[in-house]
Amino acid sequence: MAIGVKVLPRPDRGVSYVRATLKGMALTFRHMLQPRVTMEYPEVRSDDSWRIATRWRGTHRMLTDELGRSKCVACGLCPQICPANCIKLVPGEDEQGHRFPLIYEIDEFRC
């Protein structure tokens, strides 16, 4: 008992590479016609297309409660995970044993 094998016809060797190259070039040319995403900041200052996204989280701030006290408990995780090593934290405790930062500085020039 023999098993039948169906041999599929293959395209010419050069045709498959040419087709893939043309598809890639077509995609490249389509992207060339789209508007730019990168802004040339020092040369082009402010126009309507240059806006910071609303979800941008690049601002450093210390959150406070309704009484104006810092919500930071001085756990020390911020200075440990900061890749630029620009956060300085000195923890302290009050009379009730609650921790708070005595010094919390961010060197934004290094950030």
Q: Is the pLDDT of residue 42 over 70?
A: no
Q: Is the pLDDT of residue 18 over 70?
A: yes
Question: Which of 12-16, 20-24, 32-36, 82-86 is predicted least confidently?
Answer: 12-16
Amino acid identity of 38? T
Residue 104's H or E segment, with its range, is strand 99-106
Confidence of residue 28 (pLDDT cuts 50, 70, 90): very high
Task: Say if residues 84 and 111 touch (Cβ distance below 8 Å).
Answer: yes
Per-residue model confidence as pLDDT tens digits over 76-98: 999 999 888 999 999 999 999 98
Looking at per-residue confidence, does 76 or 16 come out higher? 76
CA 108 vs CA 53, 65, 83: distances in Å: 20, 24, 13
Confidence of residue 46 (pLDDT cuts 50, 70, 90): low
Please work out, in degrees rounded to the nearest 5, the angle formed at the alpha carbon of residue 89 by the alpha carbons of 87 and 90. Answer: 160
Note if the pTM is more than 0.85.
no
Tell me the average pLDDT across 91-111.
Answer: 89
